[in-house]
Chain A
Amino acid sequence: MIPLVLTVRVLAQGERPTRVWLPLFLIWILLAPLLVIIVPVVMVLGALSGINPFSALSRLGAVFCALSGTHVEVEAPDASVFVHIT
């Protein structure tokens, strides 16, 4: 399943807390038209570097899809970071 929501929270001592809730599904929809540009660029770069562009695209896609469920939480005395991908 593709990642749908990214949640980021950064709390640092003496600074304003940052909370970001990013609906990734909207970004995917917005980026979809850009694929028309990205795919030929990847094809050319792949051909120049000797990498199969179809394989590269599918494997990169697999990495993006696998990001769903990632959770990183770090709490230190002076700062804390929370990243969650749903």
Chain B
Amino acid sequence: MSEDRRQILGMLAEGKITADEAERLIAALGEPTGPYADPRPDPRPSRAKYLRVVVDSNDPSGPAKVNVRVPMQLLRAGVRLSALLPVQAREQINAALARQGMPFDLSQLRPENLEDLVDQLSDLTVDVDDSHAKVRVFCE
């Protein structure tokens, strides 16, 4: 409970203000009122809408900048689309990923795990600072 809310309820208890006035004051604070109002803050952070990749390079050949914004919804749709891949294609992709040092099984990517995966991505932040380049991957 915030200090302002506590003061208003204190004034109401002391009879300095009426219940209607207290309700109006609490509403003006922008806090929820009523018997079902949850005084605890929402533990879920607001969901990220975009995955951003920002690269700022100062290569000797010349400066370069990359700014990419991918909607999270596109990631979700893409993962759902991957479930349609034929088994043979999936095996070939798995083998290619393994050859590149990423032993990842695409068949393990199930729609029921998708929301968790994207939610975890929301907390992702990658910062790479190099003498020639700066890379940032984050969600917003």
Q: Which residues of A contact B (CB under 8 A)?
A: 49-52, 55-56, 59-60, 62-63, 65-78
A44: shortest Cβ distance to chain B, in Å? 16
* B68 in the interface (beta carbon within 8 A): yes
CB-defined A-B contacts under 8 Å, sample of 27: A50-B86, A51-B84, A51-B86, A52-B84, A56-B84, A59-B77, A59-B81, A59-B83, A59-B84, A62-B76, A62-B77, A62-B80, A63-B74, A63-B78, A63-B81, A66-B76, A67-B71, A69-B71, A70-B71, A70-B74, A72-B68, A73-B65, A73-B67, A74-B64, A74-B67, A76-B64, A77-B61
Q: Count B interface residues, CB 8 Å.
A: 23
Q: A51-B86, A56-B84, A59-B77 are in contact. Are A68 and B71 (CB under 8 A)?
A: yes
Chain B window 11-50, contacts with chain A (Cβ cutoff 8 Å), 1 for yes, 0 for no: 0000000000000000000000000000000000000011
Q: Are B77 and A63 in contact (CB under 8 A)?
A: yes
Given the known inter-chain contacts A59-B81, A63-B77, A66-B76, please indicate yes or no for A77 contacting B62, CB distance below 8 A.
yes
Contact indicator B69/A70 (Cβ below 8 Å): yes
**Nearest chain A CB to B96's CB is how many angstroms away?**
20
* A76 to B55 alpha-carbon distance, docked (Å): 11
Q: Which residue of A lies closest to B64 (CB)?
A: A76
Query: Which B residues contact A (CB, under 8 angstroms)?
Result: 49-50, 61-71, 73-74, 76-78, 80-81, 83-84, 86
Residue contact A66 to B69, C-beta cutoff 8 Å: no
Inter-chain contact B77/A71, CB cutoff 8 Å: no
A56 to B83, CA, bound (A): 10
Q: Chain A residues near B73 (CB, 8 Å)?
A: 65-66, 69
Query: Chain A residues near B71 (CB, 8 Å)?
Result: 66-70
List A contacts of B50 (CB < 8 A): 69
